[in-house]
Structure 1
Amino acid sequence: MILRKYMSMLGIGSAKIDLQLPKHEYAPGENVSGTFLIEGGTIEQQIKRIECDLVMTTLTDETEEVIDSATILTSQTIESEETNRMEFNFQLPKDIPASTPERTFQFKTRLIFNEGVKSADLDKIIITH
């Protein structure tokens, strides 16, 4: 049991998060709703928070800009092998530019634990006008 605890602190067998969206194309000002799927690892872990950033990447100058962020503070415990779902809602800005081959958007999601490394997930979306 102690070995499992230390392995999860290193990221081996720790809980994982996946942002599940019903579609991948959105208009400016639209509400993005989906589900965070949290899957328990080999041991019980205490979740501290979930952070989700909408990031715009510009390929021409290789820059990343955080458009907006959402944070869910929690003291939830995820049991070993347990699966939990949490609702996700995110309002896109009305003045967000459209996606282009040089400009992409993605949600970067992080699951932060009281002990151990964080779990991360990336989900690309397309902004249309």
Structure 2
Amino acid sequence: MLLRKFMSLVGIGSAKIDLILEKETYTPGEQITGYFLLKGGLIDQQLKRIDCDLVKVENGTEHIVDSTSILTSRSLESEASNKIPFSFILPTSLQISTEDISYRFKTRLTFTEGVESLDQDIIQIV
């Protein structure tokens, strides 16, 4: 058990997060819905927060457009799966996606102990 805990603290077999969206293409001002899928790792872990940033990548440079955070003290049991609803309204001022401009959601799951779990989901603005 001690080895499993140590492995989770360094990121091996720790819990994971995945943002599941209903689709990949959106328009400025549209509401995005989906859910965060939390998958437990080798041991029970205490969650601290979920941060999700909408990031605009323009000519290789990243800019955070907007963010949302969920503070939690929930415990995620080993090998369990949980869903947390996600809703986000895109700003009306977004430029459309081009070869030089793209958008993505960067999601971080932070634990009271251990490394963060990261996820990225590319979306297209038309």
**TM-score scaled by length of structure 2:** 0.99
CA displacement 1:2-47 (0-9 Å, x = unmatched): 1111110100000000000110000000011101000000000000
Q: CA deviation at 1:82?
A: 0.3
Q: CA deviation at 1:116?
A: 0.2
Does 2:67 match 1:69? yes
Alignment correspondent of 1:108: 106
Distance in 2 (alpha carbons) for counterparts of 1:18 and 1:32: 15
RMSD value over aligned CA atoms? 0.5
Gaps of 5+ in 2: none
Taking the TM superposition and a 5 Å limit, the aligned residue runs for 1:6-85 are 6-59=6-59, 62-85=60-83
Runs of 4+ in 1 over 4 A off after TM superposition: none
Gaps of 5+ in 1: none
The amino acid of 1:6's aligned partner reads F
Secondary structure in 2 matching 1:4: helix
